[in-house]
Structure 1
């Protein structure tokens, strides 16, 4: 854990980025944090501006009731902040949260551009270091849905069985993940900001269409039925799935699985992937034998979680039987090689519970499973 006595001011402390930043700063041992939100007294901000050694200026307005509030919130409050720093001759580094829309001619963009210009003038006047970040669409946990983030809205609505509206599925979006933003901001705190000309930026940007985002999130919801998990090798898909889970209704964290039950025990599939195989739980009743089959290409791993048992192998075309005694008292994985017929015998007095992995999901049209007693 990092330890620091640096006094850090965070404006917009209750906002999406602010909450994530403050939480991670505390995780890393930064405990002298001045948290300021616009509903607090300006006298408190004055005190903070006297003491702080670094400023994360994250406060802003992006969904006001009238357009005049854009300039008041994004330019006016920035002006107040900088005036208070000048009042106390505090030349702490100031990081400012701006937007890629600052390059556009709309009320929000113009207000952000005005804030940027003010920040640059402040730096020239005082010599203080300023870091202006033009963020694109930021997504991740704790972002308010049905407000100004399409990802948050889609995640919340799909998770809660509410409708979504995709105006243009081919519309391209550039997105950055909140954890990548926070890593960059903490690097900036240490003087290691990622610069691009006059501005700073998060290097890990993802480009994807609106329709693709919607379809991915729908597939996340369906995964509880299909048991398919997202492609974790795809960085964006991994981050989007993590975001989706943060919007699950609190009474729906759990979900049932289909247990295939007979007098021998049960078999329950947990997760399936197209490239990393299938994960299941196999329960064998006392005295029962399961298996007596072999595979050409399908291979498996067995891990006994509880109970006692015997796993037996015989190579096809030979007579020798190989015995492996297994128990939940010892965490030991047994590989099930191809070309060996095998079975599992519960030798104990309680259920034998086995966690199983197969290198491919079961396909009833090509099961690659051939009955043959060990």
Structure 2
């Protein structure tokens, strides 16, 4: 299958091209602003499917809306008609096509031109009225306010929020591409509006606060819940705007005669991750918790974990070596310690189910073996 993409070097086009290649589509023709009319006609003549993503949304004059959206779409449809094939078209329109403004009118006109081509040819014409698409490779001060916020915050630059309560509807680029790929696999209806989502209903102020929290997290080590929904998509977008010099950052390390301890990452509701080292023969821990629970993974070296139930005195001992893949859990009400019983430095990663609170540490000193 030969697939033609207009606007192939744009934000949405670049994301779609990558995903098409991943899905096994190799015969992809990209049309960009530098392509000639002859290249467009030749590409359309051989195309089996068209993603029409090109358009103008930030012109110098309103006439550019007409030329870039309506007139270019008319040129595309005339070329498709001349071929005489039923070539399906997916069009990236805009939610503003429902509004009475120059950009919206130009997008609505493009929709109607495509639908007319579909009725005449019998080709499927599928329209996506997209709203505020954001994601990797979006250009700041052009594609999306999210891109602008991410770019500036990642560099410590100010962002402008005139009305924090202003409503904002966002859709993530990967979700848009997923919906477009489904059209390629099964065009579905002969014509009509298609949905890409989820559409996130939020505010400018909320988005700004979430993005700022990503920047702050490097100093507080407190990472927002970035695993689902809008925050996940915003975080993925934010880190793509980091300059290469900011790909790495350092965390505080605390050294004493036993070795090193460092907190790595904290979460709002799932505790924190840390690591520590211990020199040969060194014992760490020697305390118990009432509620706090921990998981330890030995990365390098050999560790002896000792436990004693603080009421009954019951004793238990475990030796774990790096690379064995064991997790050792500490249990509330059991005093525990960890001793480096090897000849090399011991390195241990640990997770605690709560963030360490210096005011209420829930860490009571007690030796396991008197």
Q: Do they superpose with TM above 0.5?
A: yes
Look up the match of 2:102: 107
Corresponding position of 1:3: none
Q: Residues 88-117 of structure 1, C-alpha deviation per residue, up to 9 Å, x if partnerless?
A: 112110111100001111111111011011
Match of 1:202 among 196, 200, 207: 196
> Which residue in 2 is equivalent to 1:262?
256
Q: Distance in 1 between matches of 2:343 and 2:192?
A: 72
Whole-Å separation in 2 of the counterparts to 1:115 and 1:20:
23
Over 3 Å counting, the alpha-carbon distance change for 1:42 and 1:277 in structure 2 is same
Alpha-carbon distance in structure 2 between the residues aligned to 1:229 and 1:194: 43
Q: Whole-Å Cα distance in 1 between the matches of residues 219 and 361 of structure 2?
A: 21
Measured in 2, the distance between the counterparts of 1:46 and 1:234 equals 43
Q: Residue 333 of structure 2 aligns with which residue?
A: 339
Q: Secondary structure at the match of 2:57?
A: coil
Q: Please give the secondary structure, in 1, of the residue aligned with 2:339.
A: strand
Of 50, 54, 59, 1:64 maps to: 59
| Structure 1 counterpart of 2:119, from 118, 124, 148 | 124
The answer for the alignment partner of 1:321 in structure 2 is 315
Larger displacement relative to structure 2 (232-241 or 30-39): 232-241
Q: Secondary structure at the match of 1:282?
A: strand
Conserved? CA contact 1:292–1:373, under 8 Å? yes
Superposition map of 1:1-374 within 5 A: 6-191=1-186, 198-232=192-226, 234-374=228-368
Unaligned runs of 5+ in 2: none
Q: Give 1:192 deviation, angstroms.
A: 5.3
- Alpha-carbon deviations, 1:41-69, whole Å to 9, x = none? 11111111111111000000001111100
**Structure 1 unmatched ranges of 5 or more:** 1-5
| Residue 275 (structure 1) shift | 1.4
CA contact (8 A) 2:5 2:28 kept: yes
d(CA) in 2 for partners of 1:329, 1:114: 63
Q: How far apart are 1:233 and its partner, in Å?
A: 5.0
Aligned-residue Cα RMSD (Å) equals: 1.4
Distance 2:12 2:299 in 1: 42
Structure 1 window deviating more from structure 2 (99-108 vs 229-238): it is 229-238
Q: 8 Å contact 2:261–2:277 — kept in the other structure?
A: yes
Please report how far the alpha carbon of residue 356 of structure 1 lies from its aligned counterpart in structure 2 after TM superposition.
0.2
**Cα distance, 1:329 vs. partner?**
3.6
Contact in 1 for aligned 2:294/2:329 (Cα 8 Å): yes
How many residues in Structure 1 have an aligned counterpart in Structure 2? Answer: 368
- TM-score normalised by structure 2 residue count: 0.97
CA contact (8 A) 2:224 2:268 kept: no
Kindly state the Cα deviation for residue 133 of structure 1 after the two structures are TM-superposed.
Answer: 0.9
TM, length-normalised to structure 1: 0.96
| TM-superposed deviation, 1:198 | 3.6
What SS does the corresponding residue of 2:186 show, helix, strand or coil?
A: coil
Displaced runs of 4 or more, over 4 A: 192-195
Q: What is the SS of the residue equivalent to 1:251? A: helix
CA contact (8 A) 1:194 1:201 kept: no
CA drift of 1:194 comes to: 9.1
**Residue pair 1:62, 1:108 contacting (<8 A) in 2 also:** yes
